[in-house]
Amino acid sequence: MDVLIVIDMQEGTISSSDKYDARGVIERINQLSQQVRSNGGKVIFVQHDGTTEEGLFPHSDGWQILKALQQGEGDATVRKTTNDAFYNTQLSLMLAMMGATKLIFCGWATDLCVDTSIRAAISRDYRVCVAADCHTVSDREHLSAAQVIAHHNWVWSNMLSAVSTPQVLPMAHIY
């Protein structure tokens, strides 16, 4: 079973206008979520428990999953406190109970939580797919957001895995 993992797409992380192609990323995540559900897969929203300063304090307005994202009745949520969606969370257990065979990743921030979670999934021998145009980040001091995204898409597509080379595909080519 395919499982789409939507990382940290929360009001507090995406609400500022500095996220690269945020509107397009949200639209594509909604399309991909629907495709995954239509193909018998599941969607898991990963929600970061952060601080008031980050705008991600649990149960605050900023902590909420983006209102613009379409959540389905059968979707699940996992809360995390580090960059890694697997670390001290119920994600591995949920995936085992779902019978997950392939994980599809998207979300925010490309170079931190998305990257760390993808690497954690690879090290746990999951088949990994990254929706190349469904993750976003802000410009960094040393690289533009577009450069960060392009670099990480390249890195992920060249990672070694005991199971299979991670796929890095535009949303339109995943199904």
pLDDT value of position 17: 76
* pLDDT over 80 at 89, yes or no: yes
pLDDT value of position 15: 78
Checking 68-72 for CB contacts under 8 A at 24+ apart, the result is 68/26, 68/30, 69/6, 69/9, 69/26, 69/29, 69/30, 69/33, 69/45, 70/30, 70/33, 70/34, 71/43, 71/45, 72/33, 72/37, 72/43
* pLDDT over 80 at 175, yes or no: yes
| pLDDT tens, position by position, 90-139 | 999 999 999 999 999 999 999 999 999 999 999 999 999 999 999 999 99
pLDDT value of position 135: 98
Mean pLDDT lowest among 10-19, 46-55, 64-73, 152-161? 10-19
* pLDDT over 90 at 16, yes or no: no
Confidence of residue 28 (pLDDT cuts 50, 70, 90): very high
Tokens representing 48 are 């970061």
Mean pLDDT of 15-38: 94
Q: What is the pTM of this model?
A: 0.97
Tokens representing 170 are 């535009």
How many other β-carbons are positioned within 10 Å of the β-carbon of residue 57? 15
* pLDDT over 90 at 32, yes or no: yes
Q: For the chain, what percent of residues have pLDDT higher than 90? A: 96
In the chain, the domains with their CATH numbers are 2-173 (3.40.50.850)
Helices 115-123 and 145-157 cross at an angle (nearest 10°) of 10
